[in-house]
Amino acid sequence: MASSALFPLSDKVCVICRLEISFDERHTWANVGPIGLQALVQYSSLRNDNELNLYLTQNPSSVKVHELCRKQYTCKRKYEQEQRLKAAMGKESVPVKSLRSAVDEPFDWKEHCLLCGESAQFDSKHPNSNKISHVETLEIRAWTRQSQCMEEDKKQ
Question: Cα 26 vs. chain centroid, distance in angstroms?
Answer: 28
Q: Is 64 in a helix, a strand, or coil? A: strand
Between helices 34-46 and 50-57, what is the axis angle to 10°? 150
Mean pLDDT within 11-34: 80
- Is pLDDT of 42 > 90? yes
- pLDDT score of 99: 66
Tell me which residue of 39, 40, 38, 46 sits closest to 15, measured CA to CA.
40
Tens-digit pLDDT profile for residues 129-149: 767 766 666 666 676 777 777
Quote the mean pLDDT of the chain: 76
pLDDT of 76: 92
Asked if residues 64 and 29 have their Cβ atoms less than 8 Å apart, the reply is yes
pLDDT at 7 over 90: no
Using pLDDT thresholds of 50, 70 and 90, give the confidence band for residue 3: very low
pLDDT digits (tens, 9 = 90+) for 101-121: 665 666 677 777 766 777 777
Contact of 6 with 58, CB cutoff 8 Å: no
Instruction: Give the whole-angstrom CA distance, residue 116 versus residue 111.
Output: 12
Q: List the chain domain ranges.
A: 1-76
Q: Confirm whether pTM is higher than 0.85.
A: no
- Model pLDDT, residue 138: 63
pLDDT above 90: residue 96: no
DSSP the chain: ----SSS---TTB-TTT-PBPP-SSSS-EEE--HHHHHHHHHHHHHTT-HHHHHHHHT--S--EEEHHHHHHHT-HHHHHHHHHHHHHHHSPPPPPPPPGGGSSSPP-TTTB-TTT--B----TT-GGG--------HHHHHHHHHHHHHHHHHH-
SS3 for 65? strand
Residue type, 52: L
